[in-house]
Each structure stands twice: as structure tokens, then as C-alpha cells.
Structure 1
Amino acid sequence: MKTNKLRPIALAIMTLTALAGCNDETTYVEQPKQTEDPARQMRSVFDDYQEAINTLDNTEFGQVTDQMASSRQAVDRMYLDKLENIDRSALSDEDKIYYDTFQFDRNIAIRGASLPNPRFGNFDIPITHFYNYIDWNATTAGAVQKTPEDYQKHLQVIREFTAWTNNLHSQYAMGIVDKARLPIVLTNRLVESTEKALIVGSDPYGLLRLGLKDIESHSSQYDNNFIAEYEKATDDAANAVSNLVGFLKTDYVNGARGTGSVDDTNIGWGDLPNGQAWYQWQLDRNSTTGKPAMELSQLGEDLVADAKAEMIRVAELVVKKRGATPTADWRDSNSGIVSERQFNLLDQNGNINLNEFFDYLNTEQFFFGRDGKNVSGTEYAELCLAASDQSACESALVDYNTFKHDANDVVAKYFKPIKTDYTIVPIPANREGYDGVGSYGNNEFNLNTNPNYSLQKWNVSTLLLHEAAPGHHFQNAYSIEYPPADKPDYIQNVWYTAYAEGWALYTEWLGLEMGIYGELNEGGKPTFVNATGMCKLDLDYTTFQGGIYTDAEECNALQYFGSLNEAQLRNMRLAVDTGIHAKGWSIEQAQDYMDANSALGDGDIESESYRYAAYVGQAVSYKSGFLVIREMLDKAQSELGGQFDWAAFHDQLLKYGDQPMEVVETSIENWIKAQQ
């Protein structure tokens, strides 16, 4: 008689998860043999941990339940114990980075699973419009496959999607019982974004049926029974989503938190049961610096006030070029009516009126697709078929690609050569209202070209520096092209928003150092002359970007203002995220704060405010990560002096991939010592 034998790891996981709910906290762990090389011990722990997690949950979309959270916590504790039994001091500086990263991961995960409602210790719950896993997982389930054999295997993926959706339904139902549900305002946006994303043609759940349609179009290659089986699996998936959406629109939203209006102050995580503890955990996971909510809030408000001085300097130059009372077409945010308006850029005392200046920089001339220009027939025409506004898309891609080519030559002086290129593509029309102004993934810089949701023309430089080169694209390409010799598989899969976004914000600042906006003065601020960016002396400024600049100096100043405005956005995020989730701000309060302290457009402010409400704690990561990188740069330049090398410093920051910021500090400090 044949018996099935379980591997030791599988047996260990079964034992641990069976005991996960017991009160006895004693854990018996087989410790690594001390005669084994510590570096090899550490890699064995990493490998065994990954295998243990895969054994625990090998489903396509993951099981998100309180029970699974407890089981994962048991595994995390087991492997944290194993790691901490290894002699860290015997590891190389490089291996200490891996050790510390794994240790941070396990500790933050254990903390999350120890809080009430541990299902919230997972990025997948609660799903919101900003991270809509219903849409993303449906895309996977409904995807067209290459061969009949692939479709046979894919049946299981569709069934697992149905099970995942049904489980999600039950998790939201549990939220009603334990009073831990989304506010009305976010529930409504989740429903809207889901319904828009899944519709194909006249089929409200057509996204799930793309594979089925492909099978039916090649029906001669398939048995009728298989087609019927595939159709049933697809129908079951569509019904599961339909039931979930119907539930969210009725039972779930009825009695949910708040009123659903923009002045609703009951939308943050701080208003949930144990919400303040949960929010601090979200902050710690996202910022990886351990700063409390109120400290981050005060830091944000201080930085917001400091940034205004440079904005005033730019405004003074514009007044010098154009006068104090320019006129331009202005769109009223309430009525949508466009009319000519005079702007008083100086107050009665002759000082810059920043709010008027902010408004002036949001007049129609500064937006692609709202400037009255009709651009067509460019090399980007086919790409722009995916966008909602063909002309706005083509004109934006022309400008962004122009700066891409200019920036590449400048950036190369600060980094090792990067072979992998990226493309700039428009966000599809059905996602423009939900995806924000830009993002990066798979060597693509995704640009929102919708005239009502995109950034102004004076933001071209800073957005490209952030999303592409040397921002997120360099993070991705560098870790692939210049990996350490023995980087563990586990480390290749970690992701920290403070590291990723802190780096991208740092590269926006690096634009100043690279002379993108002009030579720097003694205070390290751009002079707007002899720039290396897009504002060339020989350009025809009566036509460039629709003729919005008087000359190269003003072009550099306004592109620099874009950098200031984006830096200000990250300053405000510290205040707004903590405002919503720790202080009880409404969407309206968040929008008013951003409007008063920046020149962000109405569409940008709208999408950003809902994003902070939905993507809890993530907004603080940008500035948190940036400040650590800048601190480490200053330390390296100060201690190394003439030995400091930009390419070597960036090499140390990038080649190991994502790390918690406290690990970045240790890594750079060890690197500095090695250079001396």
C-alpha cells in the first residue's frame, strides 16, 4: 500500500498552524548548526521560509482570512527565531543588509498579525479603488491563453478567482459585524472603478470572458464538453463578482461610516476599532522609520511652510517678465465655465500673492488639451488611441519624449551605464480618473494625458525624473543589470515604498544638482541660466509648449517650479495622510489644504485626496525615504570629501534593491567606512 510522505517543512508548518491559536507562547525550533557558515545558514533560513509560506498558501491569488494571518504569524516567528540564532557579526556588510531586511520584515508582519482584525495586516484588505485587486485579479482570470493546453491549466486559475472573490465577500461581511468597514465615500469609488474596469462592450463582466471568447472563436480546437466547462467556470466567476458588487452597493454601504460627502470627517483609519494602533502600524510599514503620526504631521507642516520661499522667488521672476497683472483663460472649478481673468500677482504691499500665482499657473494655457492647440499626426498617434483625448495625448508625449532624450545624456554622468530603455505610454481612458498622474512598471512610464487629470506643462521635467530616469526606471533596471554576486532570492522579491518612492523623490532633487534648471548659486539653488534640461536657448519660445514662456530663463524657472510643487506635494502628504487618518480630516479639508499650499490642479488635488484616504499610510513614505537618502548623501560627502563619487554612491544605494530605510542607513554607513 502506497503512503504519502510529507517533507519536514510541511510537517513543521502543519504543526505550527495547528498551534497558532494556542495560548502557550513557547516555540521549539530546531536551531542551525553553529559549525555551518553563517552566510550559508542565513540563505538556508530565507529559502526555507519561502518554501514554508508557499506550502502554507499556494493559491494563485492568496487566502486572506484571520486564520491565515495567524498561521503566517506562526511561520514568521519560527523563522525570525532561526535568523536571530545566526551570528550577525560574522556576516559581510553585504549579507548584513539581507539579514536586517529579513528581520525587519518578520517583525513588522508579526506586529500586524498581533493586532485585532489581523486580515488588515495585508495589502489586499480592504480593497479600495486605488489598489483594486478585484480588477487586477479578474484581468488574470479572464486572460487569453496561448494554447489549448494552457486553457486546460487555466481552468483552475478561474476557479481560484471565484473562491477568492467569495472569500472577499465574506471578509467584507465580517466587517459589518466587527464595525471595521470602509467609509461610504470609498465604498462608492470602489464600486464605480470595479464596474468600469470589468466592462467590455455591452458585457458588464466581459473582462472575465476574454479567454472564453477566444476559445469560442477557435472552437474546432476544443471539445464541446471542455467549452461548456470553461463557460461554466467563467460564469461562476462573473456571478461571484456580481454578487460582491451587489452586496457592496446595498448591505455593505448601508450603515457604513460617514455620509459619503466630501465634508465627511469619519473616513480615516483612526475611526476604526483599534484604528489608531492600526494606523501607526501602517505608518511604520510604509515609512520604515518608526516615527509616530503626530511627529510626521508636524514635520509635514514645517516643510510646507519652508518650501514657499523658493516658490516666491520663481513668482518674482515671472512678475519681472510678464508684469504683475497678466490675463489668461481660467476655468471655474464649480461651473466649468472658461473665461478671461486678470491675476494680481502682487498684493497691496507689493509682495507676491502666492495664491494668485498658483491660480495663474493653472490657467488653460498650461494644460495639454486645454490650451486650444490641436496636435495630430505625430509618431505617437497610434499609442494615443488608448487615451481619451488624442490631441492632448500626442502633444504630451512629444514634450515628455523630448525631455527624455535631453535628460539621458545628463543622467549618464552620475550613474553606471544603463542599457535597458523605457517607453512613455498613456494610461487607458477607462483608468484615467482613478490611476493618478503617472506611474512606472515593466519599463513603461505610464502617463495620464486626460486634460482634467494630468499635470501642467511645467511639470514635465520633474515627473519624468521621478517616474523614469533616473527614478523608478533606474531602480528597476539597475537591480537587474548590476546585481550583487550572491543576492538571495528572497531579497529580490521584497518591496518597500519608502525606499522606492524616497529614491524617486531624491532623483527629482538630483535634477537640481545635474543642472536641469540652470547652474546653481552659492546656496545650491538654480539660477535658471545655462541649463542642461529641456529649456534650450535656441528654442522658438513663441511655439514651444504652445508659447507659454517668454524665454529660456522663464522656462527653466517654471520647470523648476514644477519640481518645487512636486516636492511640496510630498511635504503636504505628511500632513494630509496623518490629517485624514489620525486627526479626522475630511476629503474637503485635505483638498483645501493642498489648494492653499501648492499650485496643484483641481483634477490632481481631487485624485490625490481620495488616494490618501484609500491607500493608508503610503503617502508618508515619499518624504520619509527621501530625507534618509539625503542625510546619507550629506554624510558621505562630508566624510569622504574628494574621495566621494556619485556613481559609486548610487551604486551602493541601488544594487541591493528595496530595503527598509533603517537598513539603508546601516548600508551606507558601512560603505563609507570601506571607502576610507
Structure 2
Amino acid sequence: MIRSLWLLLCIAVISSCKETTKKEQLNNTKPIAEVFTEFYEFKKNINPIEATKAGYSAYNDTIANYISDDYILHLKDRYTYFLEQLGTYDSTTVSATDYMSMRVMEWDCNVKLEGVMNPIVTVASPIYDLPSFELMPLFQIQSLHLYVAQLAGGTSVQPFKNIDDYNNWLKRLEDYLLFLDTAIEKMKVGMDKGVVLPKVLTQKMLPQVRSFIDIPLEENLFYQPILNFPDGLSDVDMDIIQSNYEDFIQKKLTPKYVELNRFLTEEYLPACRDTDGLLDLPNGKATYQYLIKLHTTTNMTADAIHELGLSEVARISKEMEAVKDEIGFQGDLKSFFNSLRNKEELMPFSKPEEVIESFNAINNRIALHIDSLFTLTPKAGFNVRRTEAFREASASAEYVPGSKDGSRAGIFYVPIPDVKAYNMVHDEALFLHEAIPGHHFQLSLQQENNNLPEFLHPESMGVFVEGWALYAESLGKELGVYTDPYQYFGMLSMEMHRAIRLVVDTGIHAKGWTREEAIQYSLENEAESEESIIAEVERYMATPGQALSYKIGQLKIRELRTKAEKALGNNFNIREFHSQILDSGSLPLVLLEEKINNWIVSQNNLSSKKPTSK
């Protein structure tokens, strides 16, 4: 008995010491704002192009070699460090707003650390537990070689306003050449380990690379800033810059593209695989499950997502049937899809400028109704612009946020590779998604929110960003559009497109579907052209899991809205609900759900305290 009491006393003393240590640790920490600032400096350092995108000029002269062993080891060290820092705070030592930001940071560090822990890297010889995307660093979409070329033209986020800007870009391109060298080295390692791209993706990449080789200097995208000097440069400065750019393009950049083209054509392409999904790579199943977690911020399984996708496809198909019947089309849904692909009334444009004007007209119509759904709106403006010619054929519509200081407006890029074949059936939904109240609203508000630490100002969680944009498409009738049944069908088609992604992405990477099976499934269930469907399926092959984020995020926001409407009844305020969704930056879905649940409780408490009328 005495021994037992002594043991209990020892345990109590040890527990007390631990609690004291914890309290001392909490009391002796630096302000959480300093940790947030340090974390954001780290984030800008590891992704300097994103820093440029956000308007931070200090990083305009560099590109991170994010596929190098040193870079991966640096990530592992830093994410571990920041998790240790966060462990010295809790909800009692910081404000509620900062605590939410802490938890977002913690989630980000944990999931990214899990990702860099997958490859076991030694400087002498990389050994990979899971198929690493460092070994497949270039592909036909969303790849650095495409992004750098987009920056090169001088009309994107890279500034070309003075001599320092021009010099910074050449320095950044020196880093890009180093990245391409590393990419070739990594792809050779991948060839040895059987971690290579599907052959069809490499074939699509070859014309992109060749487009920078056999081309007159004046037509080279990297030379365009020389043809568009800003005011204020002296003749001497312009001559020096022009000479430096010509030397760099002719003596360094073009030879590197020649080398890359030779490697891809003669060595890499013959080694590429004829299979399509991650299942065909070593430990591909585990890799895909990680990518699901990364892109959806959930622990959903591939099977569960696949079944959810099938369910959503069936639901949306019923709505499509109703619209088809309203229009009076005689025939099945697949025949209706085919009729839309070639319907002359939906392809009325003869000049690309007319497409842009049409989007501006949609903007004007929505502006009349926006106050009915939103009190929180951004200060930043945006422009609708045609996608650059070099990437237009394989590009999707996209939104690029403006600079944080407002000096550069956001850009809604629209690809128009063949204006006479441009089909406008999706345009209202596309505008709602990419511009207002989709990406332009959400990303601009996030960037302008002074209550958030700066690391939460960039795009961040794709499942939130894309989930919000897809949810925004559903607001069309409330915002005065979708009065034309064809445009409403276009919205259903875009939602169907995202539901199909759940089926096809998991089909390719978890269920052994071939590229051809994925294309056929898409053709049978949506109105997109075969050409665009092929490009989409190949996108899923290149970026596994990313396409899942849209529908998973949208369904969660819609679920939370329905829950709030039911719980609050007449006290539900849609404008306040949207403010709650948008005023904390990009959140992992588990934190978003927790926030809205707390808001519902607080609103119910407020209503219960209101005096009743007699």
C-alpha cells in the first residue's frame, strides 16, 4: 500500500513538472505573428515565382530548383522546425483568429512533411519508397517549362518596367537552365527505376519544346520584352538589354531546348510506359492515397470518391434530362450533347475580341445582383484576356490573381484557338467560376484581408479555392444569369465535368482504367468535344488527385449552406454565410466545417436572446 502511494506521488510530481514545463514553454514563446512572418518568408523562398505573383519584387530574380535533393532536404528540415514552433502555443495563448491560422499552418506543414518524407534522399543516390514526381518533373500541362514561357512574354506577372526588371529576368532564367539540367538528371534516374511518364504525355510535350527552337528571334516568346520596352529607358540601356537578351537566347536558352528536345526524343520517349495510371508505378496505390489527402484535405479513399462521382453523375444526368425536355429536343442525352457541340447558334463569333466582349457583358449583368448575395467584395479589379498563342491549344480557362498592392489587376485567361469553333454554351458558368464571384472574389478577398497573416494571402488550399469556384457556378440564377436554358445546361455540363473527374481520376489511378476507357466514359456523359476531353484526361494522368478538389470542395460548401439554412430557418442570412466562408482565407475542409458549425451555434444563441414581440 505504501509502495503504491509512493508510486502515485511520483507520477503526480512528474505530471506536475511536465505541466510546469509546458506552461513555462508557453509563457516564454515569441509572439505568434513572428512565427507566421518567418513561415511566409520560408514559403516565398521555396516558391519565388509565387512571391512575384503576390507582388514581392525581392524574389524576381530566382527560381527554386524544387526537384533537387538539397531542396527536398531543406523542406523536411523546415517543416519539422515550424511544427516544433507551433507546439509551443495553444488556444489559450493566442487570439481565436490566430489560432485558426495556426491550425491551417499546422495542417499544411504536416501534409507537406508527409510528402517529402516519402522519398528517402541521400546526396549520392536517391532511393524512393514511393514513385516521386521529382523523377517526372516535366509534363504537358501545369509544368514549369510552360509557366516560365508564360512569364517570358512580358504580359503576365513577371514585371518588365525598368532595367532592373529586365536584368532580374535574365538571372531568373539562369536558374531555369539549372532546373532543366536537374530535370534531365532526374528523368534519367526515373528511367532506371521505371518511374517515367506515359508515352502519350511525352509526345504531347515535344511540340511545346520544339516551338522554342526553329523560330526567328523576333517571334521567340522570350524576346518579346525587347519588342515592348517601357517608357523611360535610355537608348544606351535599351541597346545593352537587347544585346544581353539576344546573347542569352541564342547562346544559352535555345541550345538548352535543343538538348532537352534531343533527350526527350531519343532517350526518354523510347523508355516511357504504355500504361496510364499511378497503379502501374512502384507503390502507386499508396502514392495516390497521399495525393488524395493533399488535394482534398480529407482521408477519403479512392473507392469512396469513385462511388461519390458515380452518384453525382447520375443526379446531374437527371437534371440535364429535364433541361433537354424543356428545350424540346427529341432524342437521348448523348444525341443532345452531340447537337450542342455543333450548334451554330452557340458558335456566333468571328473575331476573338467578340468572345472577350461577351464575357464583359456577362460581368455587367451579374453586377446588378451581386449585393443580394455578398456584403464582402474585393477592391481589386480584373481583366478578361485571351490566352497566349504558344499554350492556347492545350490550355484551359484560368484566373491569375492581381498583385497584392493592386498595381496589377487579376486576369481571367480565355483560350480561343479557333474562334469560329468557339462554343459559348459554358460561358456564364465559366465567368462565375473564374471571375465573379468565383476565383476573383475569393482570391482577392484573401489577399486583401489584413486580419490574416501573410502566408494565408496566396492561393493555398486548392480544395477550398476550386470548391468555392464550383459552388459559385451554382449561384447563377440568384445573380441574374442562366435565363437561357442552354446556359443553364452549360452550368450543369460544367458540374458534370467535375463529377466525371471523381470517376475518371480514381478510375485511372486506383482502378486500372486506360486512357481510352476514361475518354469513352467522358464522351458518354458530357457535352465536351472529343479534343477537349482528351486534353482533360491527359491532364488527370499528369497531375493525379488535383482534379478531385473541385467537386469535393463544392459539395462540402453546399452541404454546410444547407445545414445552416435548416438550423437557422428565418434567421439564415446568405450574405453573412458567404462572408463566413470567405473571411478566413483558404481552409482545409475539416476546419471550414468546424468554423461554420460554430457560426451556426452563435447565430442560434443570438436569436434566442432577442426579445419576443408581444
CA 1:245–1:366 in structure 2 vs 1: closer, same or farther (change >3 Å)? farther
Alignment partner, residue 632 of structure 1: 560
Alignment partner, residue 364 of structure 1: 343
Q: Contact 2:90–2:99 (CA<8 Å) still a contact in 1?
A: no
Alignment partner, residue 32 of structure 2: 42
Q: Contact 2:461–2:586 (CA<8 Å) still a contact in 1?
A: yes
1:559 & 1:42 partners in 2: Cα distance? 48
Residue 221 of structure 2 is aligned to residue 207 of structure 1: yes
CA 1:71–1:402 in structure 2 vs 1: closer, same or farther (change >3 Å)? closer
1:122, distance to aligned residue in structure 2 (A) = 6.8
Q: Contact 2:306–2:502 (CA<8 Å) still a contact in 1?
A: yes
- The 5 Å alignment of 1:581-592 reads 581-592=509-520
1:76, distance to aligned residue in structure 2 (A) = 0.9
CA 1:228–1:476 in structure 2 vs 1: closer, same or farther (change >3 Å)? closer
Alignment partner, residue 563 of structure 1: 491
Letter in 1 for 2:256: A
1:435, distance to aligned residue in structure 2 (A) = 0.5
Q: Contact 2:382–2:440 (CA<8 Å) still a contact in 1?
A: yes
1:36, distance to aligned residue in structure 2 (A) = 4.0
- The 5 Å alignment of 1:54-69 reads 60-63=62-65, 64-69=67-72
Alignment partner, residue 391 of structure 2: 431
Q: Contact 1:212–1:231 (CA<8 Å) still a contact in 2?
A: no
Moved more, 471-480 or 84-93: 84-93
Alignment partner, residue 387 of structure 1: none
2:272 & 2:493 partners in 1: Cα distance? 36
Q: Give the one of 251, 258, 261 matched to 1:235.
A: 251
Deviations 1:625-653 (A, max 9, x none): 01111121122222222222122111121
- The 5 Å alignment of 1:326-345 reads 345=331
Residue 112 of structure 2 is aligned to residue 133 of structure 1: no
CA 1:410–1:195 in structure 2 vs 1: closer, same or farther (change >3 Å)? farther
Residue 405 of structure 2 is aligned to residue 445 of structure 1: no
Alignment partner, residue 539 of structure 1: none
1:305 & 1:270 partners in 2: Cα distance? 27
Deviations 1:384-416 (A, max 9, x none): xxxxxxx15244334332222111112221112
Residue 424 of structure 2 is aligned to residue 457 of structure 1: yes
Residue 80 of structure 2 is aligned to residue 77 of structure 1: yes
1:222 & 1:455 partners in 2: Cα distance? 40
CA 1:651–1:123 in structure 2 vs 1: closer, same or farther (change >3 Å)? farther
Q: Contact 2:386–2:413 (CA<8 Å) still a contact in 1?
A: yes
2:335 & 2:238 partners in 1: Cα distance? 66
TM-score, normalised by the number of residues in structure 1 = 0.74
Q: Contact 1:297–1:578 (CA<8 Å) still a contact in 2?
A: yes
Q: Contact 2:276–2:514 (CA<8 Å) still a contact in 1?
A: yes
1:223, distance to aligned residue in structure 2 (A) = 8.9
1:571 & 1:228 partners in 2: Cα distance? 49
Deviations 1:605-636 (A, max 9, x none): 22222221122211110011011111211222
Q: Contact 1:70–1:118 (CA<8 Å) still a contact in 2?
A: no
Residue 533 of structure 2 is aligned to residue 533 of structure 1: no
1:506, distance to aligned residue in structure 2 (A) = 0.6
CA 1:420–1:157 in structure 2 vs 1: closer, same or farther (change >3 Å)? closer
Moved more, 573-582 or 70-79: 70-79
RMSD of Structure 2 on Structure 1 (CA): 3.3
- The 5 Å alignment of 1:480-629 reads 480-481=447-448, 483-485=449-451, 487-493=452-458, 495-512=460-477, 514=478, 532-533=480-481, 535=483, 556-629=484-557
CA 1:592–1:121 in structure 2 vs 1: closer, same or farther (change >3 Å)? same
SS across alignment from 2:341: coil
Deviations 1:448-475 (A, max 9, x none): 2334897633322211111111111111
Moved more, 236-245 or 620-629: 236-245
Q: Give the one of 276, 299, 318 matched to 1:290.
A: 299
1:104 & 1:188 partners in 2: Cα distance? 37
Letter in 2 for 1:493: P
1:420 & 1:494 partners in 2: Cα distance? 15
Deviations 1:77-102 (A, max 9, x none): 12112212312354433223211111
Q: Contact 1:570–1:623 (CA<8 Å) still a contact in 2?
A: yes
Moved more, 139-148 or 610-619: 139-148
Alignment partner, residue 341 of structure 1: none
Residue 602 of structure 2 is aligned to residue 674 of structure 1: yes
Q: Contact 2:130–2:283 (CA<8 Å) still a contact in 1?
A: no
Deviations 1:100-121 (A, max 9, x none): 1111111111111121348976
Letter in 2 for 1:595: L
Alignment partner, residue 541 of structure 1: none
Alignment partner, residue 179 of structure 2: 164
Deviations 1:328-373 (A, max 9, x none): xxxxxxxxxxxxxxxxx1xxxxxxx2222222222231542xxxx5
**Structure 1 unaligned runs (5+)?**
1-29, 259-265, 325-344, 346-352, 376-390, 517-531, 536-555
1:569, distance to aligned residue in structure 2 (A) = 0.8
Q: Contact 2:446–2:458 (CA<8 Å) still a contact in 1?
A: no
Residue 114 of structure 2 is aligned to residue 114 of structure 1: no
Residue 46 of structure 2 is aligned to residue 86 of structure 1: no
Deviations 1:567-594 (A, max 9, x none): 1111100001111112222222111111
Alignment partner, residue 474 of structure 1: 441
1:419, distance to aligned residue in structure 2 (A) = 4.1
Letter in 1 for 2:63: F
Aligned length: 548
Residue 207 of structure 2 is aligned to residue 192 of structure 1: yes
Alignment partner, residue 262 of structure 2: 246
1:436 & 1:139 partners in 2: Cα distance? 14
TM-score, normalised by the number of residues in structure 2 = 0.80
Deviations 1:541-578 (A, max 9, x none): xxxxxxxxxxxxxxx32222111111111110000111
Q: Contact 2:383–2:411 (CA<8 Å) still a contact in 1?
A: yes
Deviations 1:139-192 (A, max 9, x none): 556868444455455543332222222112211122112211111111111222
Q: Contact 2:298–2:589 (CA<8 Å) still a contact in 1?
A: yes
1:73, distance to aligned residue in structure 2 (A) = 1.0
